[in-house]
Amino acid sequence: MKKIFWLILPVIMIFCISGCSEKEEKNISIYDLQKAVLEAGKDFPEMKTVNGSSEDAASLFTYLSDVEYEKVDAFFLSYAAEGESYEVAVVRMKENSDVKEMTDSLKAHVDDRINLYKNYEPEQVGRAEEADVFSEGKYAVLIMCDNKSDIKAAFENIINE
């Protein structure tokens, strides 16, 4: 009986170790994320969108962040066409270790927008001050709008499918 136990124990340990390994993240289409998030934005004014599929994506990304574009796997930024304080950005990093840097950069972007609105359109400041910046897995997210919870729920639904 002891021999059987010692033969089975390594097999059980292998199954336990493999079951505890990190969950592999799904590679979700940034387009699907963009579509779901914008559909949830029922109160959005006319929005313009830029993303990583553009020829000048690296240049466009600098509007949003000063993080090295080589660290970015994919992104989109949607913003109000008429300059109101409505923005949604989702950035998927290549490495988890770069997500905090990206999140901090998005927070700095929000601070820059607040300062701009204070001088340019003071009535937009409140919405910008209430912006939500968070991360999940390899994603850093910025939500600046009135229905942040709907946008965040749409993002989480796609990520957790």
Question: d(Cα 92, Cα 27) in Å, to the nearest integer?
Answer: 10
Tell me the pLDDT tens digit for each residue of 94-149: 999 999 999 999 999 999 999 999 998 999 999 999 999 999 999 999 999 999 99
**What is the model's pLDDT at position 5?**
42
pLDDT tens track for 139-153:
999 999 999 999 999
pLDDT, one tens digit per residue, over 5-62 is: 444 544 455 544 444 444 455 678 999 999 999 999 988 999 999 999 989 999 999 9
pTM comes to: 0.83
